[in-house]
Amino acid sequence: MRELDSDSPSNNALAERFRTYMPVVVDIETGGFNSQTDAILEIAAVVIAMNAEGYLEIERSLFHRVIPFEGANLEEAALKFTGIDPFHPLRIARPEKDVFQNLFQVIRDAMRSKACKRAILVGHNAHFDHGFVRAASARHGLKRDPFHPFSCFDTATLSGLAFGQTVLSRACGVAGIDFDEAEAHSAKYDADRTAQLFCMIVNRWKDLGGWPPTQRE
C-alpha cells in the first residue's frame, strides 16, 4: 500500500476531490412536503471551495425569498413551522423562475472557475431539497440545471457517522458550531450551518488520514 502525495496539486483541487463535482450546500424553506405542488418560499445556496492546503471552505453564499408559483399549495402547518408569511407587504421576493435562473448561472460560473463538470447538492436531509430544486427546474423548463440529477451529499447521514447525531442543531452542538434555535428554519441560516458542518466533516476526514486515500501497489 502507498499513500498519495498529499501536497500534489491534483489532491488539493476541488475537481479531483469529488470526481469533478462541485459541492453546493442548499437549504429550502417550503409551504409543504410535496415538491410537485407545494411552494418554495426561501432558498439559500453556499458554494464550497478548496484552499491551497486542500481544506474545504465557504466561498460564496446566495439567498432569495421566492414568490410562490401560480397555483402553489401552502400548508398552514408548514407556514407556522417556518414562521414565513409569503404575503407580508414588506417581504421582498422574486419570481421562482428568476431565482433559479440566477442561481444556476452563478453555480455554472463557479463550476467553470474550478474545472468542475457538475454541481452536487449538499443538504441536511438532502433529498428533500434536491427534490424541490428538480421540480422547480422542470416546472420552468430550465435546460441548464447544473446539479447532478440524482446524486447528493446528505449531512444528516455524515453527521450520524462523524458525531452520532442526525438533527442539525445537535450535530452542530457536538461539532462545536454555534447554533441559535431562534434563527433556525431560515434558509440562509440553516444553509450556512450545514455548510460549516459539511466542511468540518470532510476536513476532519483529511486530518485523520482518510484523504488522500491509499492505493495498492
Euclidean distance between CA atoms 106 and 61, whole angstroms: 10
Grid coordinates given for 77:
402547518
Neighbours of 64 (CB within 10 A): 22
Identify the helix (H) or strand (E) that includes residue 70: none
Catalytic-residue membership of 185: yes
Euclidean distance between CA atoms 199 and 43, whole angstroms: 20
Residues forming a β-bridge with 119: 22, 147
| Helices 126-139, 96-113: crossing angle, 10 deg rounding | 110
By annotation, the residues acting in catalysis are: 185
